[in-house]
Every structure is written in structure tokens, then in C-alpha cells.
Amino acid sequence: MTDEELMLAVVNGDQSAYQVIVKQHLKSVSHYAYRMLGNQKDTEDIAQEAFLKLWINAGKWQVEKSKLSTWLHRIAHNLCIDFLRKHRRTQLQSEILEGVEPNQEPHENPREGSEAFQRAKQLEMAIRGLPENQRSALVLCHYSGFSNKEAAVIMNMSIKALESAIARAKRSLRNELSETGIEHQ
């Protein structure tokens, strides 16, 4: 079945069609949310809410305007941005109260102490430190595989603005990682 046929079935209350859509898109939506939020619990909540919104608003999807994956990622994007804005202040306050530094990570198994693991964690932390629009643009285009045009639709911005956000994100990451000595490794 095509996305259009599946969504028409969902509009008519077909739960099996809904399950097919969830199965096809859950991994991609979850990966995007994880890159945006950085933890599994919140990722699961966002993914669940995104698919709930798909079920409730299935009739609002317009096949001529965007692919289903683009529309679904736009829902997930909006949920992530809302979540980050709502919880940023609370998270920062709790980190200050607990004296936790964002880069502190326990090293419980030997692989976590490896140089490659440390570089990956440093990159992950640098990406999390980017402003929301830069992080989202980078994640959509470089990790989720969306074209610039699709990512611009998801983020509700022009392609030129998206490309600018990606360029700023890359520049910030290069600067951040060069300060930690990871730049060209």
C-alpha cells in the first residue's frame, strides 16, 4: 500500500494501517527525537505523542504538499522544540542545584573509556549545545537523510535559511571541537 492509501485507511479508523505506518517510521522519528533531546525516556514520549497526533490528525495530511515522512517529522520537530523550550529552564535549574556539569559521564565499562568513545561523546555534547534550529537542521539533513527542501518544510523555513543554519552549526561544531583537540581526528 502507498502512504496515501495507508493514511486514507487510518482516517477511516483502520488500526492495522496505522500499525504499518508506525512500523515504517518509528525508527526514523525516534532517532530524530533522540538527537534533539539526548535521552531515551523523552525520546519515547515524543515518538508516542507524534504517532498519536498522526492518528488524531490523519485527515489533515495533504499528499500534494509533502511526503508522509516529512509531515510526520514536522510533527516530531514541533514536539521536540516545544519540549526543549518548556524543559530548558527546569533542566538548567536542576543541574545548578545538583552541581552537575553537562559533560560529566560515568565510565563504567572499558569501551566507554576509549578514545573513539570519548570523541563520539564530545561530538554528541557539542551537537546538543547548538541552538535548536541549527541542531534540528543538522540532524534532519545529516543524520535523518532528508533533503534540504524536505528539512526546510519540516522546520517551516526557506531553503536558504536552512542552509545558513547548517553552515552556522558546522562552524560552531568545528570551533567547539577544535578547542577540545578533536577537530581533524
| pTM of full prediction above 0.85 | no
Residue 12 shares a structural domain with residue 49: yes
Residue 89 shares a structural domain with residue 152: no
pLDDT computed for residue 55 by the predictor: 96
pLDDT tens, residue by residue, 17-60: 999 999 999 999 999 999 999 889 999 999 999 999 999 999 99
Q: How many domains does the chain divide into? A: 2
**117: alpha, beta or left, given left = phi > 0 and alpha = psi -120 to 50?**
alpha
- Is 59 in a helix, a strand, or coil? helix
Residue 66 shares a structural domain with residue 87: yes
Burial class, 33, CB count within 10 angstroms (exposed 0-12 / middle 13-18 / buried 19+): buried
User: What is the chain's mean pLDDT, rounded?
Assistant: 85
Last residue of one domain, picked from the residues 56, 75, 100: 100
Residue 89 shares a structural domain with residue 3: yes
Per the document, the length of the chain is 185
Residue 24 shares a structural domain with residue 61: yes
The residue range of the domain holding 123 is 108-185
Residue 160 shares a structural domain with residue 88: no
Residue 45 shares a structural domain with residue 127: no
pLDDT tens, residue by residue, 95-121: 444 444 443 333 344 466 677 788 888
CATH number assigned to the domain comprising residue 129 = 1.10.10.10
